[in-house]
Amino acid sequence: MKVFVVYAHPNPNSLNATLKDHAVGALHRAGHEVRISDLYAMKWKAVADADDFPERDKSLPLEYMVASGEAYENGTQPRDIAAEVEKLLWADAVIFQFPVWWFGFPAILKGWVDRVFAYKFAYGYKNAGNTYRYGDGALAGKRTLLSVTVGGPEVDYGPRGINGPLEHLLFPITHGTLFFPGIDVLPTFAVYGTARIDEASVEAAKRALERRMVRLFVDDPIPFRRQNGGDYPDRHTLAPHIAADITGIPAHIASDRTGAPFAVQALESVKD
Amino acid sequence: MKVFVVYAHPNPNSLNATLKDHAVGALHRAGHEVRISDLYAMKWKAVADADDFPERDKSLPLEYMVASGEAYENGTQPRDIAAEVEKLLWADAVIFQFPVWWFGFPAILKGWVDRVFAYKFAYGYKNAGNTYRYGDGALAGKRTLLSVTVGGPEVDYGPRGINGPLEHLLFPITHGTLFFPGIDVLPTFAVYGTARIDEASVEAAKRALERRMVRLFVDDPIPFRRQNGGDYPDRHTLAPHIAADITGIPAHIASDRTGAPFAVQALESVKD
């Protein structure tokens, strides 16, 4: 299979670099083809702005959404964006390797999304508004995995930990960004406590990540409810009988076989 | 009072620009001093990387966290970062005006946080690990308000809307980024449906935002639980008797006087 690794860390000696290299090795050993976007090494342009549309009439005010849709449809995207779109369409799976900074993407990776996930490609697909989203869309049939490092201790991210559960903090990414254009999202692979991690824990993390790479096309994705699967009859709101007694993020994740909330137990740490 | 406006939109003719200008006018009329960081106009450097530490020994691998703490303590931060720190310390309140892109900050604003919220300043305050955070820290006593535009319809962000509630999607920003170093966070001001908004709605949004500016130092903040207020006896996990029956994001927000969950009703839209 074909695997696209998107990697964002400024230090080539970092734990993130180690994990990325180890994941790529494991993918090769499993017989997969691998392509890598090393965003820092590529000096990826993070900011979505008028320079993304060199052929646009500069006397008009920039409507970034509209301009991104036109450039995508007309084949006039800048080369760096078009190359990432091509890799996404090539891939069967996408791995994101990054450190969680302020409970989300580093800016360079957020800027990769802001620029690559163009209108009419990642949203407004088929020029049909919100008809195709959350399980349907240009990237349906692919799968993805976030492999992240977290500076703080795991306890802070527990069901009642002070930061909030990691899968809920990452919901704007897993659900709102990746499931939105149709990608199935595997449970996040997280290494906690990386601000002061010892060598044995690094080795344990590498082994755990390798297991996730081996199971990349086998593991069940997070069971986010599909927009067009019947749970949202008007495409906007959950039907009254679906997750009838809950609101907020957990309502959009179907329970797993044991009936326990999936979001919490889905998170794999190095302790597994 | 002193108000710092951080504004991020690439189009000076945008609704975000209109709202920013209107907020600044309202603040001036209320007698406040205002300073503005227009991140696009400033060509703000979004990516946290080795160039942020020109005086660092480049033969050593970059530990961004450590380097940011040293630069903050030694007064060797680059001029652009130091200027933002100075404005933050000057301000009594900070307004963030931005479009919600992929359920979070535009990359240029995420990069403002990644670079300005340095170690030993915004986290690891007083070189004391996590002793001071979530209500305590370098920015305690200040208040902040997110003023955002959202392309999609409000129904998608309702308690059972398909995107998830906006205040939960923004929790990594409001709680994890701004309350973390001590800032009190006011309920978000959101204008929905901006992908196709008419002139009357823009005028209504301006009036509603003006009311929020008039009440900037009067309104109650979101009642996030303070780390050192007694609800987290070990500084990591909620005490068993606090929000005893709930997990996840809502557990960290105290109910308001009426007993209703604050997070949902806190969100002001232009329909108010």
Is it the case that residue A272 has pLDDT exceeding 50? no
Contact A176 B102 (CB under 8 A): yes
Q: How far lies B251's CA from each of A99, B239, B248, in Å?
A: 26, 11, 6
Is it the case that residue B165 has pLDDT exceeding 90? yes
Contact A161 B50 (CB under 8 A): no
pLDDT bracket for residue B55 (50, 70, 90): confident
Euclidean distance between CA atoms B268 and B272, whole angstroms: 6
- For an interface test with B, which of A14, A42, A47, A170 has the most B Cβ atoms less than 10 Å from its Cβ? A47
Give residue A95's pLDDT. 98
Contact B107 A12 (CB under 8 A): no
Q: Please compute Rg for chain B using Cα positions.
A: 19
Q: Among A75-89, A257-271, B188-202, where is mean pLDDT lowest?
A: A257-271
Greater pLDDT, B58 or B248: B248
Euclidean distance between CA atoms B261 and A110, whole angstroms: 31
Contact B114 A134 (CB under 8 A): no
Cα angle vertex A21, ends A183, A33, to 5°?
55
Give residue A222's pLDDT. 95
Give residue A259's pLDDT. 43
Give residue B21's pLDDT. 98
Give residue A9's pLDDT. 98
Give residue B91's pLDDT. 98
- For an interface test with B, which of A247, A252, A262, A264 has the most B Cβ atoms less than 10 Å from its Cβ? A247
pLDDT bracket for residue B71 (50, 70, 90): very high
Q: What is the dihedral of CA A123, A136, A210, A195, to 10 degrees?
A: 40
Q: Which two tokens stand for residue A116?
A: 């690559």
Give residue B196's pLDDT. 87
Is it the case that residue A181 has pLDDT exceeding 90? yes
pLDDT bracket for residue B124 (50, 70, 90): very high
Contact A249 B248 (CB under 8 A): yes
Q: Please compute Rg for chain A using Cα positions.
A: 19
Give residue A253's pLDDT. 94
Contact A159 B247 (CB under 8 A): yes
Per-residue burial over B160-176, b if 16 or more Cβ lie within 10 Å, else e, is bbbbbbbbbbbbbbbbb
Give residue A58's pLDDT. 86
- How is A60-126 classified by DSSP, letter by letter? SPP-HHHHHHHHHHHT---HHHHHHHHHHHH-SEEEEEEE-BTTB--HHHHHHHHHHS-BTTTBSGG
Q: How far lies B271's CA from each of A225, A248, B192, B203, in Å?
A: 29, 21, 10, 12
Residue B59 neighbours by CB distance under 10 Å? 5
pLDDT bracket for residue B265 (50, 70, 90): very low
Q: What does the pLDDT look like over B81-109, one tens digit per residue? A: 999 999 999 999 999 999 999 999 999 99
> Which of A247, A127, A125, A117 has the alpha carbon at shortest distance from B248?
A247
Give the mean model confidence (pLDDT) for residues A14-19.
Answer: 98
Euclidean distance between CA atoms A92 and A160, whole angstroms: 36
Contact B103 A13 (CB under 8 A): no
Q: Shortest Cα distance from B189 to chain A (angstroms)? A: 19
Phi, psi of B110 (to 5 degrees): -60, -40
DSSP run (H or E) holding B24: helix B15-29
Into which CATH architecture does domain A2-222 fall? Answer: 3-Layer(aba) Sandwich (3.40)
User: What kind of fold does domain B2-265 have according to CATH?
Assistant: Rossmann fold (3.40.50)
Give the max Cα distance, chain A: 59
Give residue B64's pLDDT. 96
Q: What does the pLDDT look like over A222-236, one tens digit per residue? A: 999 999 999 999 999
Domain ranges of chain B: 2-265
Which residue from A10, A49, A172 is facing B48, i.e. has the nearest CB? A10
Q: Shortest Cα distance from A199 to chain B (angstroms)? A: 17
Task: Say how many CB pairs under 8 Å bridge A and B.
Answer: 202
Instruction: Look up tokens 């297991």; give the residue.
Output: A211
Give the mean model confidence (pLDDT) for residues A70-94.
Answer: 97
Give residue A266's pLDDT. 38
Is it the case that residue B209 has pLDDT exceeding 80? yes
> Which of B91, B196, B213, B204 has the alpha carbon at shortest distance from B142?
B91
Which residue from A12, A103, A243 is facing B176, i.e. has the nearest CB? A103
ipTM above 0.90, yes or no: yes
